[in-house]
Amino acid sequence: MLDIVARFKLQGTPIGCIEFGSGHINRTYLVVTNQPHLYVLQNVNTHTFPDARGLMRNVIMVTEHIRKKVQDPRQVLELVPTVDGQMYILEDGNQLWRVYEYVNGSICLDQAESVEDFRQSGKAFGTFQRQLADFPAEELTEVIPNFHHTPRRYEALHRAIEQDCMNRASQVKEEIAFFLEREASAGELTGLLASGQLPLRVTHNDTKLNNVMLDEKTREPLCIVDLDTVMPGLAAYDFGDAIRFGASEATEDERDLSKVRMSLELYRAFTEGFLSVCGESLTERERETLPEGARLMTIENGIRFLTDYLQGDTYFHIARPEHNLDRARTQMVLTRDMESKWADMKRIIREV
Ligand code: GN1
Ligand code: MG
């Protein structure tokens, strides 16, 4: 790995690469040098992202756009060029390597340590949304077409159930039934988009709390990371995925399901943070659809984890045999909990 790193224009001599982060798709390493300068090396999964050049074009355009609007260089990710002036290395057509400056003095959380942290992450994603409000969406490559098209995700689940290539379907009948019961409502947001009732925005599409870097001292937002899925999308997707992940009182792969529930306190804090920054730029209809975004993103991730389990865990990295099934189950419990808190979720949006 050090020979790859050596091809980037670093300050100091790289002396080690340590795997870090909790991404399910790419491999991420902290690069330590003989100077107090740290870098982040990533090997991008080109199985998931086959259009490596299109993806990097998006990342470059989006970071350049945001850079014009910030004061502190830590407020936007910064790619480090190679010694021959390229922004990344692409080898054999499918080995994509890139290096970012490490965001100094930052922390990244898998779970909010306080309500305030989560409010700040709402501000962070609201700011991201606002910074890109004047970005020409049509110039972005749609790196994963239909990424949040929930009905398409259901089609994939149906195929996986029919093929049942691992003979696992009979063990997860309850889980399958849970998601199929909700299939009829899966097209609500895509329907509103198709009929022109919701505007297409530039969205992040993977708004997990651990994609926000907070300042370790002030605990205020620095920047958003993981820009690989920045594509045209709906505001409700970004709001919703953030709630799914960060307002849950348990981690995404918690095995003790009695711990899994959505905290209305966290939900309110995120909503306040998010809408304080971008609320006025959203239409009334968009604001109304935010709770449905949360429910839908939870169902969608649930069916993606279940589909991957049925297909033999080929998409998301797993650390134990039933990891994807555990993840699918937390999403079920969370969906049910949101459904039971539906009136409150709607009311909080109105109040905020
Ligand atoms: C993946 O790369 P990572 O771990 O931040 C996935 C998201 C899922 C998420 C679930 C490109 O995100 O869509 O919501 O796992 N990214 C891709 O934790 O599929
Ligand atoms: Mg990530």
Q: Is residue 38 part of a domain?
A: yes
Same domain, 94 and 143: no
Q: Does any domain span residue 243? A: yes
Residue keyed to tokens 């991404």: 23
CATH at residue 71? 3.30.200.20
Same domain for 127 and 13: no
Q: Give me the phi and psi of 42, to 5 degrees please.
A: -130, 140
CA of 24 to the centre of ligand 2 (A): 7
Does residue 28 belong to any structural domain of this protein?
yes
| Residue 192: both structure tokens together | 């509103």
Residue 109 falls inside a structural domain: no
24 ligand 1 Cβ < 6 A: yes
Whether residue 152 is found in the same domain as residue 219: yes
- What domain range includes position 94? 2-104
CATH of residue 124's domain is 3.90.1200.10
260 and 313 inside one domain = yes
Cβ–ligand 1 contact at 21 (below 6 Å): no
Residues 246 and 292 in one domain: yes
Residue 170 lies in a domain: yes
Nearest alpha carbon to residue 235 among 165, 101, 130, 162 = 130
206 lines ligand 1 (CB under 6 A): yes
Encode 197-233 in three state secondary structure.
Answer: CCCCEEECCCCCHHHEEEECCCCCEEEECCHHHCEEE
Evaluate whether 154 touches 190 at the Cβ level (below 8 Å): no
Q: What are the C-alpha distances in Å from 145 to residues 152, 155, 232?
A: 10, 14, 10
Q: Whose CA is nearest to atom 7 of ligand 1?
A: 206
Residue 110, domain member (yes or no): no
Closest Cα to atom 13 of ligand 1: 206
Residues 193 and 321 in one domain: yes
- Is the shortest distance between the CB of 25 and ligand 1 below 6 Å? yes
Ligand 1 pocket: which of 19, 20, 24, 301 to mutate (most atoms within 8 A of CB): 24
Calculate how far, in angstroms, residue 208's C-alpha sits from the geometric centre of ligand 2. Answer: 7
CB distance 117 to ligand 1 below 6 Å? no
- Total number of domains in the chain: 2
| Same domain (yes/no): 75, 131 | no
Q: How many CA atoms lie within 13 A of 311 on its CB side?
A: 15
62 and 147 co-located in one domain: no
Structural domain includes residue 336: yes
Looking at the CA of 210, name the nearest ligand.
2
The residue out of 104, 132, 154 marking a domain boundary is 104
Q: How far, in Å, from the CA of 25 to the mean position of ligand 1?
A: 7
- Whether residues 6 and 57 fall in one domain: yes
Residue by residue, pLDDT tens for the chain (352 residues) are 889 999 999 999 999 999 998 899 999 999 999 999 999 999 999 999 999 999 999 999 999 999 999 999 999 999 999 999 999 999 998 999 999 999 999 999 999 999 999 999 999 999 999 999 999 988 999 999 999 999 999 999 999 999 999 999 999 999 999 999 999 999 999 999 999 999 999 999 999 999 999 999 999 999 999 999 999 999 999 999 999 999 999 999 999 999 999 999 999 999 999 999 999 999 999 999 999 999 999 999 999 999 999 999 999 999 999 999 999 999 999 999 999 999 999 999 999 9
Using the 3D structure, point to which of 104, 125, 160 is the last residue of a domain. 104
pTM, 2 dp: 0.96
Q: What is the DSSP letter of 184?
A: G
| Domain end among 42, 69, 104 | 104
| 330 CB near ligand 1 (under 6 Å) | no
Query: How far apart, in whole angstroms, are the C-alpha atoms of residue 289 and residue 239?
Result: 10
**Same structural domain, 157 and 215:** yes
CA-based nearest residue to 152, from 182, 190, 118: 190
Asked whether 300 lines ligand 1 (CB < 6 A), one says no
